[in-house]
Amino acid sequence: MPSLLKLLRVYILSFYFHSTGVAAVPGALSCRLVYLGVYLTAVTLCAAYSATLVSSLAVRKNDLPFKTFEDLLKTNEYQMSVVNNSAVLSEFEVSFHVFLKHVIKLS
């Protein structure tokens, strides 16, 4: 619980630091709580926007013309390759799905 109190103190101190430019400093506790609520909302929105921006820039989306291995075999534009003696190769070889075994035999 002490870490939660430290975090609350940091928020309150940063709230007071950021509200120093306000012309009329609120004297009532209710007004200060409204200011704190607005400040925390602004910080949360800014953090959410930053996280969304970073994640949209970090994730690469490929639009491939196939969704399944069957579609992969139907198109002749792409080839599937796996490293010998790898976990992916053994995943295909011991698969219970008959089609996956067929895919590895064709490649």
Is 64 part of a structural domain of the chain?
no
Helix count and strand count (H, E) for the chain: 5, 0
pLDDT over threshold 70, residue 21: no
| Contacts for 48 with CB less than 8 Å, ≥ 6 apart | none
For residue 21, what are its two tokens?
């430019």
Residue 42 and residue 11 in one domain: yes
pTM of the predicted protein model = 0.41
| Contacts for 25 with CB less than 8 Å, ≥ 6 apart | 19
Residue 54 and residue 75 in one domain: no
Domain hosting 29: range is 2-58
Is 54 part of a structural domain of the chain?
yes
Residue 54 and residue 85 in one domain: no
Q: What is the per-residue pLDDT for 64?
A: 79
Is 63 part of a structural domain of the chain?
no
Residue 50 and residue 19 in one domain: yes
Q: What is the per-residue pLDDT for 93?
A: 79
Is 45 part of a structural domain of the chain?
yes
